[in-house]
Amino acid sequence: MRFTLTAAALSLFLAGALQAADTPVAQTIPKPYPLKTCLVSGATLGEMGDPVVKIYDGQEIKFCCGGCTKSFEKDSAKFLADMNKQVAALSPTGGKSAARKADPAAKTGMGTGMGMGCCK
């Protein structure tokens, strides 16, 4: 009887642990806000005190004040699209694809005199 109760308790414990392991971490941790300015006003964050931080659809958004959160909520899709454009403009490629043809010599150093040392 004692073995049956222990086995049942262990089964319940493992079932709970497996269910918790199935929970995606990405859903619980929001993406960090990528800009240094308020998405609505364009003001530098921190100039008017601590920024107001909200989470929208898994994305952290920072505002210079509570009034900007209300403006954002009226047309969040527009502001999120603006944020994505700003982030793309800040990227090293200016939002353009950085796809380049693969150069095998660049990866291995072969043919450049800078080989791995194991092949002569």
Q: State how many domains the chain has.
A: 1
6: in domain:
no
69: in domain:
yes
- pLDDT tens column, 19-30: 544 555 545 899
94: in domain:
no
8: in domain:
no
64: in domain:
yes
33: in domain:
yes
Q: Which pTM was predicted?
A: 0.56
105: in domain:
no
Domain that holds residue 60: 21-87
pLDDT band of 92, cuts 50, 70, 90: confident
Q: Please, what is the Cα angle at 33 between 82 and 76, to 5 degrees? A: 40
Question: CA 105 to CA 55: how far, in whole Å?
Answer: 45
The answer, yes or no, to whether residue 108 has pLDDT greater than 50, is: no
49: in domain:
yes
**What pLDDT sits at residue 33?**
96
